[in-house]
Amino acid sequence: MSTTAPARPPRAGAPEERRPDTRPGRVGGGLSDPKQLAAALPDALRKLDPRAMAKSPVMFVVWVGSVVTTGLALTDPGDWFGWAISAWLWLTTVFANLAEAVAEGRGKAQADTLRRARTGTVARRVTGTGGEEPAPGTELRVGDLVVCEAGDVIPGDGDVVEGVASVDESAITGESAPVVRESGGDRCAVTGGTKVLSDRIVVRITTKPGDTFIDRMIGLVEGADRRKTPNEVALNILLASLTIVFLLAVVTLKPFAVYAGADAQTSLVVLAALLVCLIPTTIGALLSAIGIAGMDRLVQRNVLALSGRAVEAAGDVSTLLLDKTGTITLGNRRACAFVPVRGVTEAELAGAARLSSLADETPEGRSIVDLAQETVEAGAAPLPDAPADAEWVAFTARSRMSGVDAGGRRIRKGASGAVAAWVEERGGRVPEDARELADGIARAGGTPLLVAVEDAEGARVLGVVHLKDVVKEGMRERFAELRRMGIRTVMITGDNPLTAKAVAEEAGVDDFLAEATPEDKLALIRREQAGGKLVAMTGDGTNDAPALAQADVGVAMNTGTSAAKEAGNMVDLDSDPTKLIEIVAIGKQLLITRGALTTFSIANDVAKYFAIVPAMFTVAYPGLETLDVMGLASPESAILSAVIFNALVIVALVPLALRGVRYRPAGADAMLRRNLAVYGLGGLVAPFAGIKLIDLLLSLIPGLR
Binding residues for Mg(2+): 540, 544
Strand 488-492: give its sheet, edge to edge.
303-305, 570-572, 553-557, 535-539, 319-323, 488-492, 511-513
Is beta strand 195-205 parallel, antiparallel or unpaired with respect to 158-168? Answer: antiparallel
Positions at the binding site for ATP: 360, 364, 395-402, 413
455 is catalytic: no
Q: Which of 108, 153, 158, 21 is nearest to 572 (CA)?
A: 21
Q: What's the number of CA atoms in the CB half-sphere (13 Å) around residue 663?
A: 25
One-letter-per-residue 3-state SS of 29-87 = CHHHCHHHHHHHHHHHHHCCCHHHHCCCHHHHHHHHHHHHHHHHHHHCCCCHHHHHHHH
Identity of residue 516: A
Q: Which of 454, 445, 413, 450 is nearest to 433 (CA)?
A: 450
Q: Which of 594, 60, 512, 577 is nearest to 293 (CA)?
A: 594
Identity of residue 305: A
Positions at the binding site: 360, 364, 395-402, 413, 540, 544
Cα Rg of the chain (Å, integer): 33
Burial (0-12, 13-18, 19+ Cβ within 10 Å), 486: middle
> Residue 238 has what DSSP assignment?
H
- Burial of 203-236, coded b for 16+ CB within 10 Å and e otherwise, reads bbbbbebeebbbbbbbebbbbebbebbebbeebb
Kindly give, in sequence order, each residue whose CB lies less than 8 Å from that of residue 636, ignoring residues fewer than 6 positions away.
81, 615, 704
Q: How far apart are CA 276 and CA 61, in angstroms?
A: 8
Active-site residue, from 323, 574, 605, 695: 323
> Residue 174 has what DSSP assignment?
-
Are 278 and 608 contacting, i.e. CB atoms less than 8 angstroms apart? Answer: yes
Q: How far apart are CA 462 and CA 430, in angstroms?
A: 9
Annotated catalytic residues are 323
